[in-house]
Structure 1
Amino acid sequence: MHRILVIIPARLASTRFPAKPLAELRGADGIARPALHYTWQAGLAAVRLLGPDAGCIIATDDDRIAAVARANEMAVVMTPEACANGTERCAAALSALGYSPELVVNLQGDAPLTPASMVAELVALIESEPQFAMATAAVPASPAVLAHLQADAAAGRVGGTTVVCSSAGRALYFSKSIIPHVLPGTTPRESVLLHLGLYAYRPEALLSYTVHGAAPIELQEGLEQLRFLDAGLPVGVAVCEAPAWEMIELNNPTDVPLIEAELARRAAMESV
C-alpha cells in the first residue's frame, strides 16, 4: 500500500487512434517500444521524486494491454469497460485494489512527455490546500501556442483545453474554447492558461465524482473535470512552468513522429 498512488489509465478503444497504448514509439536510443512504456517511465520518474511512500500502477480494461504491461514488469489492475473516462477508471482501480491511499495522481496513458516535476508540483498544491478536492495542472500559453489555438478555432477545429481561475487559484471553468474572451480593442488582463490532463484527487472526491454521475456540461464540452465543478467540489490549479520540450499527447497517428522527436530532444537536453 502507498500513501500516494500514481494511476495510469489505459484503454484500447479510441475513436481517433485505436489501440494507442500499444502503438510503437521509437525512443532516443532508436528502439521502438509500446507507447505505454514511455508513460510508465514518466510515472516511475514521478514516484522517485515523490518519495518511498509513492507507487505506480496501470489501470486497464483490456487483456492485451495488461499482458504487455506485465511482460514489461509494470504493475496492473483490471477495471470495468464501462468506465467513461480516466477519472472513473482511477476510482474503479481503488475499488479493485481494496485500499485508499491519501492521494491519487491520474497520469494519462497518452501523455508520455509529462515531467516528474509537474506531478510533484500538483501533489504539493493539494497537500498544502486541504479545501481542494482535486487539483490539476496548467501552463501559460506561449504566443505560439495561443496562435495555434486561435488558428484551430478559426478553422472550426477543436484545439487544446483552457482554464480560468480565481485569484486564489481555484478553477472557475474549463473549456475547449479559448477563455477568457478578450473584448475587441482591450488589453488582456490575464494570460490564457492551457490545461494539461494531469490530476491529483483525494479518494473521497473520486467517490463523490462517481456517485454524482455525468454532468450535462461535462458531456457538452467533452471534459471530465467539469463534473467536479458541477458537483460543487473545489478544484485547485497548479500553474506550472512549461518544460523545455513540447508536451504532445498521443491522440492521433500523426502525433507519433512528433512525440518521437520530442523524446529525442528531451534525451539530448538531459545528456548535457
Structure 2
Amino acid sequence: MRKLIVIPARHASTRYPGKPLVHLRGASGAAQTLIRRSWDAAMAVNGVDRVVVATDDERIRDHAEGFGAEVVMTSTTCRNGTERCAEAVAALRVTPEIVVNLQGDAPLTPPWFVEELISALAAAPAVDVATPVLNCTGAMRADLLADRAAGRVGGTTAVFGAGREALYFSKEVIPFVPGNPAPDAPSPVFHHVGAYAYRPAALEAYAGWPEGRLELLEGLEQLRFLEHGRRVLCVEVESRGRQFWELNNPEDVPRLEAMMAAMGLD
C-alpha cells in the first residue's frame, strides 16, 4: 500500500464536544454528519489506496461503520490528530509511502488539495511533512480577524520562507498587514488547511516526542515538528472558486452550510 488517508475523530473536543456527529445541511437541505462529509471528501481523492477513520469513541465508530467506513479504534490518550494517525498506522500494521491526515473538521476540503499535497511530498525527499496553505483574500483575512476580535479561535495561519518551508503557524492572523486589502484582492496571509502528509518515519518519531512549548501555547500539533527541527513544506493550493472553512466552533455550522448552499454542494 502506497498512500493511506486517516481521518482522526474524537468526541471529547474541548471547544465543541461531539463535533464529528454534528449534522450539516447541504444545498438541497439534506443533512449529513461532519464525519460522513469528511469521509466523502477523503473518498473523492484520486490515487489513494485506503481510507480509515481513527477514533476512540464507540458512538463515532458505530456511526462510521454504519455508512460503510473502515474504522480503527485508538486510545483515549492521543493528544491530537497526528498522534491518533500514528497509533492507527501502527494498529493497521502497514507501512505506506505516505500517510495523509485529513482532519475530521474540514469537510469542504476539495480533492485536489490532498492530491497536490501528496504529489508535493513525493517530490521533496528531504522533507518530512507537507501541509496545504490557501492564500487569503481580503475578505477571508477579515473573517479570521473578526473571529479573533470576538474571542473565538478560528482558522490557523502559516508563514513560510522562500523555499516554502514553514517558519511558524499561529491561531493569530499573521503576518501583520498594514491597512485592509480589498475583499477580492490577495493578501500576504495564508490560511492553513487542516491536512497533513507525513513520511511514516516522521510520524512514528512524532508520537515519541513530548509536547513542545509552542505547541502547548498555540494548541497546534504541527508546531511539534518545527520544535524538533523537522522540515514542514507548505504547499500552496488554489481554491478554483471553492470556498473553504473548517468547523472549529458551533458558530461555524451556519457558515459552512451557507458555503455549501452557495456552491451547490449537497
The TM-score, its normalising length taken from structure 1, stands at 0.89
> 107, 121, 128: which one pairs with 1:126?
121
Structure-2 change in CA distance of 1:131 and 1:77 (3 Å) = same
Deviates more, 1:3-12 or 1:174-183: 174-183
Hey, what does 1:88 align to over in structure 2? 83
Q: Secondary structure at the match of 2:258?
A: helix
Question: 1 CA distance for matches of 2:11 and 2:130?
Answer: 26
Question: 2 CA distance for matches of 1:204 and 1:115?
Answer: 27
Hey, what does 2:140 align to over in structure 1? 145
Aligned identity (percent) is 48
Question: 2 CA distance for matches of 1:95 and 1:195?
Answer: 27
Q: Name whichever structure is richer in helix by fraction.
A: 1
* CA contact 2:26–2:257 (8 Å) conserved in 1: yes
Q: Secondary structure at the match of 2:188?
A: coil
> 234, 237, 240: which one pairs with 2:237?
240
> 206, 228, 231: which one pairs with 1:231?
228
Aligned-pair CA distance for 1:162: 1.4
Question: 2 CA distance for matches of 1:257 and 1:158?
Answer: 16
Q: How does 1:167-206 map to 2 (within 5 A)?
A: 167-182=162-177, 191-206=188-203
* CA contact 2:154–2:249 (8 Å) conserved in 1: no
In the TM superposition, what whole-angstrom CA distance separates every residue of 1:174-202 from its partner, at most 9, and x where no partner exists?
11222223579xxxxx8111111110000
* CA contact 1:163–1:179 (8 Å) conserved in 2: yes
* CA contact 1:135–1:237 (8 Å) conserved in 2: yes
Q: How many residue pairs are counted as aligned between the two chains? A: 259
Runs of at least 4 residues of structure 1 off by over 6 A?
none
Amino acid at match of 1:4: K
5+ residue gaps, structure 2 = 180-186
Hey, what does 2:16 align to over in structure 1? 17
Q: Secondary structure at the match of 1:50?
A: coil
Deviates more, 1:172-181 or 1:126-135: 172-181
Question: 2 CA distance for matches of 1:127 and 1:205?
Answer: 14
In the TM superposition, what whole-angstrom CA distance separates every residue of 1:93-149 from its partner, at most 9, and x where no partner exists?
011111121101111111110000000110011000011100001111111122233
Deviates more, 1:85-94 or 1:237-246: 237-246
Amino acid at match of 1:234: R
RMSD value, Cα = 1.9
Q: Secondary structure at the match of 1:199?
A: strand
